[in-house]
Amino acid sequence: MAKQVFILVGTRKGAFILESDASRRSWEVRGPFCETWPTNHVVGDPRTGTIYAGGGNEWFGPAVWKSTDFGTTWTHSSQGLAYEGGDAPVKSVWSLAAGPDGSLYAGVEPAGLFRSTDGGESWTHVEGLREHPTRPEWNPGGAGLILHSLVLDPADRNKIWVGISAAGVFATEDGGKSWETRNRGTRADYMPEGQNYPEFGQCVHCLVMAPGGGARLYQQNHCGMYRSDDGGRKWESIEEGLPSSFGFPAAAHPRDPDGLYLIPLNGDIKGRFMPEGKTAVWRTRDAGQSWQARREGLPQDGAYFNVLRQAMATDTMEPAGVYFGTNAGGLYASTDEGDTWDCVAPYLPTITSVETLVIER
Protein backbone atom coordinates (compact mmCIF):
# COMPACT_ATOMS: atom_id res chain seq x y z
CA MET A 1 0.00 0.00 0.00
CA ALA A 2 1.15 3.53 -0.76
CA LYS A 3 0.04 6.94 0.44
CA GLN A 4 -2.29 8.92 -1.75
CA VAL A 5 -2.84 12.65 -1.28
CA PHE A 6 -6.12 14.30 -2.18
CA ILE A 7 -6.89 18.02 -2.37
CA LEU A 8 -10.61 18.49 -1.80
CA VAL A 9 -11.94 21.69 -3.34
CA GLY A 10 -15.30 23.34 -2.93
CA THR A 11 -16.39 25.82 -5.58
CA ARG A 12 -19.43 27.81 -6.62
CA LYS A 13 -20.00 25.16 -9.30
CA GLY A 14 -19.55 21.89 -7.45
CA ALA A 15 -16.73 19.96 -5.84
CA PHE A 16 -13.39 19.03 -7.42
CA ILE A 17 -10.82 16.44 -6.33
CA LEU A 18 -7.12 16.53 -7.11
CA GLU A 19 -5.14 13.33 -6.54
CA SER A 20 -1.40 12.58 -6.38
CA ASP A 21 0.96 9.98 -5.03
CA ALA A 22 3.22 10.75 -2.06
CA SER A 23 5.63 12.76 -4.22
CA ARG A 24 2.91 15.40 -4.87
CA ARG A 25 4.67 16.29 -8.13
CA SER A 26 1.70 15.94 -10.47
CA TRP A 27 -2.02 16.13 -9.85
CA GLU A 28 -5.00 14.56 -11.59
CA VAL A 29 -7.97 16.95 -11.54
CA ARG A 30 -11.48 15.43 -11.41
CA GLY A 31 -14.87 17.11 -11.28
CA PRO A 32 -17.08 18.99 -11.09
CA PHE A 33 -19.11 16.78 -8.75
CA CYS A 34 -22.31 17.30 -6.73
CA GLU A 35 -24.22 18.19 -9.90
CA THR A 36 -22.44 21.58 -9.87
CA TRP A 37 -24.39 22.70 -6.79
CA PRO A 38 -22.81 25.64 -4.95
CA THR A 39 -20.42 23.81 -2.61
CA ASN A 40 -19.12 25.62 0.46
CA HIS A 41 -16.98 22.94 2.11
CA VAL A 42 -15.51 19.55 1.14
CA VAL A 43 -13.84 17.36 3.78
CA GLY A 44 -12.49 13.81 4.04
CA ASP A 45 -12.61 11.36 6.93
CA PRO A 46 -9.07 9.90 7.18
CA ARG A 47 -10.34 6.83 9.03
CA THR A 48 -12.67 5.70 6.26
CA GLY A 49 -11.69 7.70 3.19
CA THR A 50 -15.26 8.96 2.88
CA ILE A 51 -15.58 12.41 1.29
CA TYR A 52 -18.36 14.80 2.30
CA ALA A 53 -19.41 18.02 0.56
CA GLY A 54 -21.78 20.59 2.04
CA GLY A 55 -23.57 23.35 0.20
CA GLY A 56 -26.75 24.57 -1.38
CA ASN A 57 -28.49 27.94 -1.47
CA GLU A 58 -31.96 29.45 -1.23
CA TRP A 59 -32.88 27.90 -4.58
CA PHE A 60 -31.53 24.35 -4.10
CA GLY A 61 -31.86 24.16 -0.32
CA PRO A 62 -29.20 22.65 1.97
CA ALA A 63 -27.60 19.24 1.48
CA VAL A 64 -24.56 17.16 2.36
CA TRP A 65 -23.13 15.04 -0.45
CA LYS A 66 -21.21 11.82 0.24
CA SER A 67 -18.77 9.65 -1.75
CA THR A 68 -17.30 6.38 -0.46
CA ASP A 69 -15.27 5.73 -3.62
CA PHE A 70 -13.12 8.87 -3.83
CA GLY A 71 -15.53 10.79 -5.99
CA THR A 72 -16.63 8.17 -8.51
CA THR A 73 -20.21 8.13 -7.22
CA TRP A 74 -22.14 10.46 -4.90
CA THR A 75 -25.33 10.51 -2.88
CA HIS A 76 -26.80 13.42 -0.95
CA SER A 77 -29.26 14.06 1.84
CA SER A 78 -30.94 16.99 3.56
CA GLN A 79 -33.04 14.88 5.93
CA GLY A 80 -33.29 16.74 9.23
CA LEU A 81 -31.47 19.88 8.06
CA ALA A 82 -34.27 22.15 9.20
CA TYR A 83 -35.25 24.17 12.25
CA GLU A 84 -38.49 23.55 14.06
CA GLY A 85 -41.26 25.84 15.15
CA GLY A 86 -41.38 28.25 12.24
CA ASP A 87 -37.73 29.33 12.48
CA ALA A 88 -36.10 30.69 9.32
CA PRO A 89 -35.39 27.89 6.82
CA VAL A 90 -31.84 26.57 6.52
CA LYS A 91 -30.41 28.03 3.30
CA SER A 92 -27.17 26.09 2.97
CA VAL A 93 -24.47 24.05 4.69
CA TRP A 94 -21.34 26.11 5.27
CA SER A 95 -18.96 23.84 7.19
CA LEU A 96 -18.40 20.15 7.93
CA ALA A 97 -16.27 18.25 10.45
CA ALA A 98 -15.89 14.55 11.22
CA GLY A 99 -15.78 13.80 14.95
CA PRO A 100 -13.50 11.37 16.81
CA ASP A 101 -16.48 9.17 17.64
CA GLY A 102 -17.61 8.76 14.03
CA SER A 103 -20.21 11.51 14.13
CA LEU A 104 -20.40 14.24 11.50
CA TYR A 105 -21.20 17.90 12.19
CA ALA A 106 -22.57 20.57 9.87
CA GLY A 107 -22.63 24.34 10.38
CA VAL A 108 -25.38 26.09 8.46
CA GLU A 109 -26.96 29.41 7.47
CA PRO A 110 -28.76 30.92 9.39
CA ALA A 111 -26.19 30.03 12.01
CA GLY A 112 -26.80 26.72 13.73
CA LEU A 113 -25.23 23.31 14.26
CA PHE A 114 -26.42 19.85 13.20
CA ARG A 115 -25.09 16.37 14.01
CA SER A 116 -25.29 13.12 12.05
CA THR A 117 -24.55 9.68 13.52
CA ASP A 118 -25.23 7.74 10.31
CA GLY A 119 -22.66 9.18 7.93
CA GLY A 120 -24.69 12.14 6.76
CA GLU A 121 -27.87 10.22 5.90
CA SER A 122 -29.90 12.11 8.52
CA TRP A 123 -29.34 15.07 10.80
CA THR A 124 -30.35 16.26 14.27
CA HIS A 125 -30.30 19.89 15.38
CA VAL A 126 -27.87 20.62 18.24
CA GLU A 127 -30.35 22.96 19.86
CA GLY A 128 -28.21 24.33 22.68
CA LEU A 129 -26.31 26.77 20.47
CA ARG A 130 -29.39 28.62 19.21
CA GLU A 131 -30.76 28.62 22.75
CA HIS A 132 -27.83 30.76 23.93
CA PRO A 133 -29.21 33.96 25.51
CA THR A 134 -27.30 36.15 23.05
CA ARG A 135 -29.01 34.57 20.01
CA PRO A 136 -31.64 37.33 19.48
CA GLU A 137 -28.81 39.84 19.07
CA TRP A 138 -26.69 37.94 16.53
CA ASN A 139 -26.18 39.95 13.33
CA PRO A 140 -25.08 38.72 9.90
CA GLY A 141 -21.73 39.45 8.34
CA GLY A 142 -21.21 40.21 4.67
CA ALA A 143 -21.95 36.59 3.64
CA GLY A 144 -24.93 36.26 5.98
CA LEU A 145 -25.37 34.82 9.45
CA ILE A 146 -23.20 31.75 8.90
CA LEU A 147 -21.54 29.11 11.09
CA HIS A 148 -18.41 28.70 9.00
CA SER A 149 -15.76 27.37 11.41
CA LEU A 150 -16.14 24.02 13.17
CA VAL A 151 -13.34 22.85 15.48
CA LEU A 152 -13.68 19.47 17.21
CA ASP A 153 -11.35 18.36 19.98
CA PRO A 154 -9.69 15.18 18.66
CA ALA A 155 -9.44 13.70 22.16
CA ASP A 156 -12.75 14.78 23.71
CA ARG A 157 -15.95 14.43 21.68
CA ASN A 158 -17.78 16.79 24.05
CA LYS A 159 -15.58 19.80 23.24
CA ILE A 160 -16.53 21.87 20.19
CA TRP A 161 -15.70 25.42 19.12
CA VAL A 162 -17.59 27.30 16.40
CA GLY A 163 -17.03 30.58 14.59
CA ILE A 164 -20.07 32.59 13.52
CA SER A 165 -20.09 35.75 11.43
CA ALA A 166 -20.81 38.12 12.96
CA ALA A 167 -21.50 36.74 16.43
CA GLY A 168 -18.04 35.50 17.43
CA VAL A 169 -16.60 32.32 18.89
CA PHE A 170 -18.70 29.97 21.04
CA ALA A 171 -17.63 26.76 22.79
CA THR A 172 -19.23 23.77 24.46
CA GLU A 173 -17.72 21.16 26.76
CA ASP A 174 -20.82 19.00 27.16
CA GLY A 175 -21.46 17.93 23.58
CA GLY A 176 -23.59 20.94 22.65
CA LYS A 177 -26.06 21.11 25.52
CA SER A 178 -24.66 24.42 26.79
CA TRP A 179 -22.41 27.04 25.19
CA GLU A 180 -20.36 30.03 26.30
CA THR A 181 -18.87 32.96 24.46
CA ARG A 182 -15.10 32.85 23.90
CA ASN A 183 -14.25 36.33 22.60
CA ARG A 184 -12.30 38.05 25.36
CA GLY A 185 -9.47 40.07 23.84
CA THR A 186 -10.75 40.22 20.24
CA ARG A 187 -11.58 43.64 18.85
CA ALA A 188 -14.67 44.90 17.09
CA ASP A 189 -13.34 48.09 15.48
CA TYR A 190 -16.72 48.80 13.87
CA MET A 191 -18.35 49.25 17.30
CA PRO A 192 -18.61 52.67 19.03
CA GLU A 193 -15.63 53.92 21.01
CA GLY A 194 -15.43 52.21 24.38
CA GLN A 195 -17.43 49.19 23.15
CA ASN A 196 -14.71 47.59 21.02
CA TYR A 197 -14.30 44.46 23.16
CA PRO A 198 -17.83 43.11 23.63
CA GLU A 199 -18.77 39.70 24.98
CA PHE A 200 -20.08 38.75 21.52
CA GLY A 201 -20.63 40.39 18.14
CA GLN A 202 -17.09 40.03 16.76
CA CYS A 203 -16.75 39.05 13.12
CA VAL A 204 -14.55 35.97 13.30
CA HIS A 205 -13.36 34.92 9.85
CA CYS A 206 -11.58 31.62 10.54
CA LEU A 207 -10.88 29.46 13.59
CA VAL A 208 -8.35 26.59 13.67
CA MET A 209 -6.79 24.36 16.34
CA ALA A 210 -3.05 23.83 16.74
CA PRO A 211 -1.82 20.21 16.84
CA GLY A 212 -0.45 18.50 19.90
CA GLY A 213 -3.46 18.01 22.13
CA GLY A 214 -3.20 21.34 23.91
CA ALA A 215 -5.71 24.16 24.18
CA ARG A 216 -4.13 26.43 21.54
CA LEU A 217 -6.38 28.02 18.95
CA TYR A 218 -5.66 30.54 16.21
CA GLN A 219 -8.16 33.01 14.80
CA GLN A 220 -8.23 35.29 11.77
CA ASN A 221 -10.75 38.00 12.57
CA HIS A 222 -12.21 40.91 10.63
CA CYS A 223 -10.20 43.03 13.07
CA GLY A 224 -6.91 41.25 13.68
CA MET A 225 -5.08 37.95 14.04
CA TYR A 226 -5.15 36.18 17.42
CA ARG A 227 -3.83 33.24 19.41
CA SER A 228 -5.39 31.63 22.47
CA ASP A 229 -3.55 29.20 24.72
CA ASP A 230 -6.54 28.36 26.92
CA GLY A 231 -9.22 27.17 24.53
CA GLY A 232 -10.41 30.63 23.56
CA ARG A 233 -11.11 32.00 27.03
CA LYS A 234 -8.61 34.76 26.33
CA TRP A 235 -7.13 35.92 23.01
CA GLU A 236 -3.82 37.69 22.34
CA SER A 237 -3.14 39.76 19.22
CA ILE A 238 -0.35 38.37 16.99
CA GLU A 239 -0.79 40.70 14.01
CA GLU A 240 2.40 42.72 14.55
CA GLY A 241 4.68 42.24 11.57
CA LEU A 242 1.87 41.53 9.10
CA PRO A 243 0.97 43.92 6.26
CA SER A 244 -2.68 44.07 7.36
CA SER A 245 -4.92 43.12 10.25
CA PHE A 246 -7.56 41.91 7.77
CA GLY A 247 -7.83 38.55 6.02
CA PHE A 248 -9.92 35.41 5.83
CA PRO A 249 -8.16 32.00 5.96
CA ALA A 250 -5.76 30.42 8.45
CA ALA A 251 -4.14 26.97 8.40
CA ALA A 252 -2.22 25.31 11.22
CA HIS A 253 0.91 23.23 10.69
CA PRO A 254 -0.02 19.54 11.10
CA ARG A 255 2.64 18.79 13.75
CA ASP A 256 4.11 22.03 15.09
CA PRO A 257 1.76 23.96 17.44
CA ASP A 258 3.85 27.10 16.81
CA GLY A 259 3.38 26.88 13.02
CA LEU A 260 0.65 28.81 11.23
CA TYR A 261 -0.11 30.13 7.73
CA LEU A 262 -2.37 32.99 6.73
CA ILE A 263 -3.02 35.32 3.79
CA PRO A 264 -3.57 38.97 4.77
CA LEU A 265 -5.44 41.17 2.34
CA ASN A 266 -5.10 44.91 1.84
CA GLY A 267 -7.94 45.75 4.20
CA ASP A 268 -11.69 45.78 4.58
CA ILE A 269 -12.45 48.98 2.68
CA LYS A 270 -9.56 48.95 0.19
CA GLY A 271 -10.73 46.20 -2.12
CA ARG A 272 -9.98 42.97 -0.22
CA PHE A 273 -7.20 41.74 -2.50
CA MET A 274 -3.48 40.97 -2.26
CA PRO A 275 -1.53 43.98 -0.94
CA GLU A 276 -0.07 45.85 -3.93
CA GLY A 277 -1.31 43.03 -6.15
CA LYS A 278 1.55 40.79 -4.98
CA THR A 279 0.64 37.34 -3.63
CA ALA A 280 2.17 36.15 -0.38
CA VAL A 281 1.48 33.47 2.18
CA TRP A 282 2.70 34.56 5.60
CA ARG A 283 4.22 31.94 7.87
CA THR A 284 5.11 31.91 11.55
CA ARG A 285 7.14 29.25 13.33
CA ASP A 286 7.02 30.89 16.77
CA ALA A 287 3.27 31.17 17.39
CA GLY A 288 2.96 34.64 15.90
CA GLN A 289 5.95 36.39 17.48
CA SER A 290 7.40 36.88 13.98
CA TRP A 291 6.20 36.42 10.40
CA GLN A 292 7.83 35.73 7.05
CA ALA A 293 6.28 36.28 3.62
CA ARG A 294 6.66 33.32 1.25
CA ARG A 295 6.31 34.39 -2.40
CA GLU A 296 8.42 32.14 -4.67
CA GLY A 297 6.25 30.82 -7.47
CA LEU A 298 3.25 33.01 -6.62
CA PRO A 299 1.92 35.82 -8.88
CA GLN A 300 3.66 39.12 -8.15
CA ASP A 301 2.06 41.32 -10.79
CA GLY A 302 -1.62 42.20 -10.91
CA ALA A 303 -2.81 39.62 -8.37
CA TYR A 304 -6.04 41.40 -7.46
CA PHE A 305 -7.77 38.33 -6.10
CA ASN A 306 -9.01 37.16 -2.71
CA VAL A 307 -8.71 33.93 -0.74
CA LEU A 308 -11.89 33.02 1.12
CA ARG A 309 -12.20 31.89 4.73
CA GLN A 310 -12.06 28.11 4.20
CA ALA A 311 -9.79 28.09 1.16
CA MET A 312 -6.42 27.20 2.74
CA ALA A 313 -5.22 23.93 4.28
CA THR A 314 -2.19 21.81 5.13
CA ASP A 315 -1.62 18.09 4.66
CA THR A 316 -0.03 15.58 7.05
CA MET A 317 2.96 14.66 4.88
CA GLU A 318 6.64 15.26 5.70
CA PRO A 319 7.47 17.98 4.82
CA ALA A 320 3.98 19.40 5.15
CA GLY A 321 2.10 20.54 2.09
CA VAL A 322 0.24 23.86 2.08
CA TYR A 323 -2.58 24.66 -0.34
CA PHE A 324 -4.86 27.59 -1.11
CA GLY A 325 -7.43 28.55 -3.73
CA THR A 326 -8.55 31.97 -4.93
CA ASN A 327 -11.85 33.55 -5.84
CA ALA A 328 -10.40 33.81 -9.37
CA GLY A 329 -10.22 29.99 -9.56
CA GLY A 330 -6.48 29.39 -9.14
CA LEU A 331 -5.33 26.54 -6.87
CA TYR A 332 -1.77 26.75 -5.51
CA ALA A 333 0.31 24.09 -3.76
CA SER A 334 3.56 24.00 -1.81
CA THR A 335 5.22 20.70 -0.86
CA ASP A 336 7.98 22.30 1.21
CA GLU A 337 5.98 23.99 3.99
CA GLY A 338 5.42 27.18 2.02
CA ASP A 339 8.93 27.92 0.76
CA THR A 340 8.01 27.49 -2.92
CA TRP A 341 4.70 27.30 -4.80
CA ASP A 342 3.15 25.95 -7.99
CA CYS A 343 -0.24 26.56 -9.58
CA VAL A 344 -1.75 23.07 -9.89
CA ALA A 345 -5.16 24.08 -11.31
CA PRO A 346 -5.42 27.58 -12.84
CA TYR A 347 -9.01 27.79 -14.06
CA LEU A 348 -11.44 26.33 -11.53
CA PRO A 349 -14.64 28.18 -10.60
CA THR A 350 -14.56 30.50 -7.58
CA ILE A 351 -12.93 28.42 -4.83
CA THR A 352 -14.79 28.42 -1.52
CA SER A 353 -12.85 25.77 0.38
CA VAL A 354 -9.67 23.70 0.32
CA GLU A 355 -9.03 20.65 2.52
CA THR A 356 -6.75 17.60 2.26
CA LEU A 357 -7.03 13.87 2.76
CA VAL A 358 -4.05 11.51 3.06
CA ILE A 359 -4.71 7.76 3.06
CA GLU A 360 -3.03 4.49 2.18
CA ARG A 361 -4.61 2.52 -0.64
CB contact set of 359 (below 8 Å; sequence gap of 6+): 3, 4, 6, 44, 46, 49
Given a contact cutoff of 8 angstroms between Cβ atoms, the answer to whether 226 and 186 are in contact is yes
Nearest residue to 286 (alpha-carbon basis) of 320, 256, 255, 258:
258
What is d(CA 309, CA 144) in angstroms, rounded to the nearest whole number? 14
Provide the whole-model pTM: 0.97
Q: Which residues pair with 125 in a beta bridge?
A: 114
pLDDT attached to residue 55: 98
Handedness of CA 140, 142, 148, 151 (dihedral sign): negative
Residue 289 identity: Q
pLDDT attached to residue 191: 87
What is d(CA 64, CA 106) in angstroms, rounded to the nearest whole number? 8
pLDDT attached to residue 236: 98
What is d(CA 212, CA 255) in angstroms, rounded to the nearest whole number? 7
pLDDT attached to residue 264: 97
Burial status of residue 2 (CB atoms within 10 A of its CB: 0-12, 13-18, 19 or more): exposed
pLDDT attached to residue 85: 80
Given a contact cutoff of 8 angstroms between Cβ atoms, the answer to whether 106 and 121 are in contact is no
Catalogue all structural domains in the chain, each as residue range(s) with its CATH number: 3-360 (2.130.10.10)
pLDDT attached to residue 132: 97
Mean pLDDT per segment of 10 residues, for the chain of length 361 residues? 96 98 97 98 96 95 97 97 90 96 96 98 97 96 95 95 97 98 95 91 97 94 97 98 96 98 90 95 98 98 97 98 98 98 98 97 82
pLDDT attached to residue 270: 82
Sheet with 281-284, side-by-side order of all strands:
247-252, 260-264, 281-284, 292-294
pLDDT attached to residue 269: 73
